[in-house]
Structure 1
Amino acid sequence: MESVMLVHGWGGSFESTWQRSGFAALLQDGGKAVIGVDLLGHGTAPKPHDAEAYGDLTERIVDALPDEPVSAVGFSLGASTLLRTAIAHPDRFERIVLAGIGRNVFERDHSGAALIADGLRSLIDGADPSTLPQSVRVFAQYAQQPGNDLIALAAVMSRPAGFEVDAAAISAVRCPVLVVVGEQDFVYPADELADAFPDGRCVTLPKTDHFATTESFGFFDAALEFLGAI
């Protein structure tokens, strides 16, 4: 049975992103074995409060890789971490779906992450959520899911920058890659990212924002077809 690894985004988990939406079950109905990964600081994984602990988020993915090449789906932080893993270990992947990343891969601006981390810390200190900037408030609301550790999530946002990802590095990933992005996502467009892969393609989801991506029927259809699960 072919396996598909699922990697959630910041503030999510395997359970909240992939099981609750029914996507994992649909993969299983399509004859795939599912490998769920919780990134460090999320879900069932350890949640250190030191930002330096999050210097290499790929370790949780590498540790979960089976011996044979695997297909994988990542969303947002999970997608960018999956991309870094595939660049370092291109022979370990058969097909990859990257959702919720696009132009942000090449436009490395960490100011937004710093604002979100500061916003989370202010909430921990008792600040009124309504005083946060709207762009930060959306992330803060998403972070406050059951089981989340706001200090750990702030530390993830403050993590050291990893190696620079550019078109030359991405060209090492030679398996088929599908990039899925909502047209109302702050990372839109994603055509440049898809074009950087030797075998890349892009699907844009109409009227879809970042956090709605993994619950979109358009995402389900595109990803399941690409993975051969329908």
Structure 2
Amino acid sequence: MNAMPIQREEQSLPPVALVHGWGSSYDRTWRGTWLEGELLAQGRTLIPVALPGHSPGVTSDRPTDYAEIADQVWCTLERHGCLDAVGFSLGGKLLLRLAAEHPTRFRRLVIAGVGENLFSAENGTAVSNALFHGVPHGAPRGLRQVVDEALASGNDLSAMAAVICRPPQAFGEELLARITAGVLMVTGEDDEIARSSDAVTRLLPNGRLVLIPGLGHVETPAARAVQEYALTFISEECSSPAPQ
């Protein structure tokens, strides 16, 4: 994973990790966006995270090699001290797990494109088959969009398939209860992959929820409204997690 910090002048707010979703990359999701530019203009240090199996570096086509994918991401983040972070889809899921396992190391999180799917196993077989053999006729629009994004990403298909087919890790209510960071859940009302974020938000000790009308899954991180909510939330100074 390549996560060389993008630094500007000294700042009082912590570094910001930006984490993309499955089948994409930092460049396709965050590079050159309004959010990236505004954070740099504020003097924030950015940590561009490449998910395992999604970079030009060493990859594996064995799903078991990604069984501990959250720990692999943590190896990139742990040296940066306390963090703010923005994550989309799989990136958001992994950030929630890390914030539960390392609660003192996260101040504020923006989790986009994650809802009820946090509690269920990913449909890895269907996605993997679609990557190599095409999306079947009549498949949900969300599946087609996700596969199209993965095919356009330039990432190794076998590695991405291995990531989506990795052994599942249960995410229960008790994990969400451990998260002390302020968390902003941002979901599109038309997101058929994330589905509702209400249950996740209610279980977070310091959670807020924003629903964006007319927004689907794949287009979520690029939406200006999502980026504006994210910037506002992680730009607030606070000595304790954000209230609900």
Superposition TM-score, scaled by structure 2 size: 0.84
Q: CA deviation at 1:22?
A: 3.6
Letter in 1 for 2:42: G
Q: Which amino acid aligns with 1:43?
A: S
Tell me what 1:181 maps to: 187
**Percent sequence identity over aligned pairs:** 32
Q: Are 1:43 and 1:147, in contact at CA under 8 Å, matched by a contact in 2?
A: no
The equivalent residue for 2:234 is 227
**TM-superposed deviation, 1:25:** 1.9
* Structure 1 match to 2:92: 79
Following superposition, the deviation at residue 62 of structure 1 comes to: 1.2
Q: 1:33 is matched with which residue? A: 45
Q: How many residues align?
A: 222
The answer for the alignment partner of 1:5 in structure 2 is: 17
- Counterparts of 1:60 and 1:132, CA distance in 2: 36
Deviation (angstroms), 1:54: 0.9
Q: Partner letter of residue 186 of structure 2?
A: V
For residue 16 of structure 2, give the secondary structure of its aligned residue in structure 1. Answer: strand
SS of structure 1 residue aligned to 2:71? helix
Gaps in structure 2 of 5+ consecutive residues = 1-10, 237-244
Q: Within 2, Cα distance between the matches of 1:181 and 1:45?
A: 31
> 1:160 and 1:226 mapped to 2: Cα distance?
33
* Residues 79-118 of structure 1 mapped to structure 2, 5 A cutoff: 79-106=92-119, 108-110=120-122, 112-118=123-129
Instruction: Supply the distance in 1 between the matched residues of 2:72 and 2:20 (Cα, whole angstroms).
Output: 12
Distance 1:67 1:148 in 2: 27
Contact 1:120-1:151 within 8 A present in 2 as well: no
Q: What TM-score, normalized by structure 1, do the two folds share?
A: 0.89
Give me the whole-angstrom Cα distance separating, in 2, the residues matched to 1:115 and 1:21.
31
Query: Using the alignment, how far apart are the partners of 1:177 and 1:210 within structure 2?
Result: 19
Is residue 188–residue 220 contact of structure 2 (8 Å, CA) maintained in 1? Answer: yes
- Secondary structure of 1:214 counterpart: coil
- 1:82 shift after superposition: 1.0
In the aligned structure 2, how far is the partner of 1:86 from the partner of 1:16?
Answer: 25
**Paired residue secondary structure (1:184):** coil
Amino acid at match of 1:7: V
Q: CA deviation at 1:109?
A: 4.2
Q: Distance in 2 between matches of 1:218 and 1:182?
A: 10
The CA RMSD measured in Å over matched residues stands at: 2.0
Query: Which residue matches 2:7?
Result: none
